[in-house]
Amino acid sequence: MDITPGTTVAEIAAGNPGTIRIFQRHQIDFCCGGKRPLAEVCEEKHMPFAELQRELSGADEPDREELPMTAPLALLIRRIVDGYHAGLREELPRLGAMIEKVLGAHGARHPELTPLAATFRSLREELEMHMVKEERVLFPYVEKLEALEAAGEPLAASPFGSIAAPIGMMEHEHEDAGHDLARMRELTGGYTAPEDACNTFRGLYHGLSHLETELHAHIHLENNVVFPRAAQLEASLTVPAA
């Protein structure tokens, strides 16, 4: 891929998922804020463009086990549901229990834990509702679109008027999640546990950091790959009004 100053972060991450770890290393948003050109990001981060371009150009290609971004949408959706969603349904309760335990034990000495716990509860509640909406409404519709394309049949009508409506709602909720993640990182000083932290305290910060990494990759796959392809597919299948 030819990476120029005008190439967006999202385009780079979608074209080669191996670049995601580089963006994460430099704390560059490649999901919700991924539509920004690389030159603008470099200026904000005070990084020479040539240096970051060299790192990104040398990124490893995706592992063979990784699905290419051009894979059928149904397969990408299965990766989201069986991978990211299943992981969240295990991690969110575990981290929720840990954060309440740490708050009870260390909250008096570390007042930042109170807003951290509140932000996590908000994030968890929204994510749990968000996953249900995707799995019950949006993703089945996208799979239907792909099945129609395979059968060579047009789309007679959409229950949404346009897929742009549910996609817009999901992207808005992704932005809210991104704000919560940024707030938690701020409150924890980049998930740096204090010197008096117990093993549970340290484990909590490690778990929250991993949650942030997984959610960034998860949101990127939806915002920058699945959603644009689904919208384009719907447009190609829509029967023009008489």
* Domain membership flag for residue 186: yes
30 and 107: one domain?
no
92 and 24: one domain?
no
22 and 136: one domain?
no
**pLDDT of res. 60:** 60
**pLDDT of res. 122:** 98
> Within 10 A of 200 (CB to CB), how many other CB atoms are there?
14
Per-residue pLDDT, averaged over 129-147, amounts to 97
Enclosing domain of residue 50 = 9-57
224 and 133: one domain?
yes
The b-or-e profile of 28-37 (16+ CB within 10 A means b, else e) is bbbbbebeee
Q: Which amino acid is at 97?
A: A
pLDDT tens, position by position, 50-79: 999 999 998 865 443 567 888 999 999 999
98 and 207: one domain?
yes
51 and 152: one domain?
no
* Domain membership flag for residue 181: yes
Per-residue pLDDT, averaged over 226-230, amounts to 97
85 and 178: one domain?
yes
**170-177: long-range contacts, CB 8 A cutoff, minimum separation 24:** 170/130, 170/133, 170/134, 170/138, 170/222, 170/227, 171/32, 171/223, 171/227, 173/126, 173/130, 174/31, 174/32, 174/219, 174/222, 174/223, 175/32, 176/126, 177/123, 177/126, 177/127, 177/130, 177/215, 177/219
Per-residue pLDDT, averaged over 185-212, amounts to 93
Which single residue is written with the structure tokens 């580089």?
22
**pLDDT of res. 21:** 76
- Which range among 95-109, 130-144, 152-166, 188-202 shows the weakest confidence by mean pLDDT? 152-166
**pLDDT of res. 241:** 54
Instruction: Please tell me the total count of domains within the chain.
Output: 2
52 and 81: one domain?
no
* Domain membership flag for residue 79: yes
Q: What is the pTM of this model?
A: 0.82
The structure tokens listed for 13 are 């991450």
139 and 232: one domain?
yes
78 and 32: one domain?
no
152 and 45: one domain?
no
**Per-residue confidence at 18, pLDDT binned at 50, 70, 90?**
confident
144 and 172: one domain?
yes
Contact 167, 227 (CB under 8 A): yes
Task: For the chain, give the mean pLDDT.
Answer: 91
**Per-residue confidence at 31, pLDDT binned at 50, 70, 90?**
confident
* Domain membership flag for residue 201: yes
Per-residue pLDDT, averaged over 189-200, amounts to 92
**Per-residue confidence at 242, pLDDT binned at 50, 70, 90?**
low
**122-128: long-range contacts, CB 8 A cutoff, minimum separation 24:** 122/180, 123/177, 123/180, 123/181, 123/184, 124/92, 124/95, 124/96, 126/173, 126/176, 126/177, 126/180, 127/88, 127/92, 127/177, 128/89, 128/92
